[in-house]
Amino acid sequence: MDMFYAGLDLSRKRVDVCAVDRDGVVVAEMAAAPDADGLAGLAARLAPLGRARAAIESMTGARCVHDRLEELGWEVEIADAQKVKGLAPLACNTDRIDALVLAELCRRQLVPAIWLPDPRVRAERERARWRLHPICHRVALKNRVHSTSGAQEPRPLDADGLRQAVPGVRPVRRARPRAARAARGA
């Protein structure tokens, strides 16, 4: 079975794909929706070309595309965007050209891939992040409660959370440091 190399350039509304064969000849150029159905359709359209090896530039959403295409049997690497621009600086920067550059780097095995933890490790990190979220809110609420209650009777707060002056209650004055009293001559 043959193999082809694909470069994927992801944007908000679509994924531009350029597929090349072992010799570097472009065998397919197309676009697909960056959702699960669009990527499944893309994999089905390119299935007759053989096994797929692909590279996608690192950006928001690249991990989801990576995971979905790996579920569909592709070998996918996420390329460091800054290093790709360093390897292949082009004056004309379009999504089609970026996809072609990524396909060529993939074919030559020069993709500056970033490390991506496996799904199990990512799931554990996400769980830890969500467990930390309520703790942060609890600490912030506790700090707010402690900052509003004082040693004296609590004063009411205005709309901005600032203490209002209470009529008939004199504010507490702190003793001045010795150096300030000495300078004043007291």
Summarised one tens digit per residue, pLDDT across range 24-70 is: 999 999 999 989 999 999 999 999 999 999 999 888 888 889 989 99
Residue whose C-alpha is closest to residue 42's, from 62, 16, 10, 11: 16
The verdict on residue 168 lying in a domain is no
Per-residue pLDDT band at 7 (split at 50, 70, 90): very high
CATH number for the domain spanning 18: value is 3.30.420.140
Looking at the predicted structure, is the pLDDT value of residue 110 above 70?
yes
Count the domains in the chain: 1
Q: Which comes out higher in pLDDT, residue 29 or 94?
A: 29
What was the pLDDT predicted at 150? 55
The verdict on residue 26 lying in a domain is yes
Per-residue pLDDT band at 181 (split at 50, 70, 90): low
The verdict on residue 162 lying in a domain is no
Cα–Cα distance, 140 to 153 (Å, whole number): 22
Q: Are 71 and 88 in contact (CB under 8 A)?
A: no
Cα–Cα distance, 148 to 164 (Å, whole number): 11
Cα–Cα distance, 61 to 152 (Å, whole number): 53
**Averaged confidence pLDDT in the chain:** 82
The verdict on residue 91 lying in a domain is yes
95 lies in which domain range? 3-107
Summarised one tens digit per residue, pLDDT across range 118-170 is: 888 988 988 988 888 888 888 888 888 877 665 555 555 555 555 555 565 56
Segment (H or E) for 31? strand 26-32
Cα–Cα distance, 140 to 136 (Å, whole number): 6
Looking at the predicted structure, is the pLDDT value of residue 89 above 80?
no
Looking at the predicted structure, is the pLDDT value of residue 10 above 60?
yes
Looking at the predicted structure, is the pLDDT value of residue 116 above 60?
yes
**CB neighbourhood size of 148 (10 A):** 13
| Helix, strand, coil % over all residues of the chain, rounded to 5 | 45, 20, 35
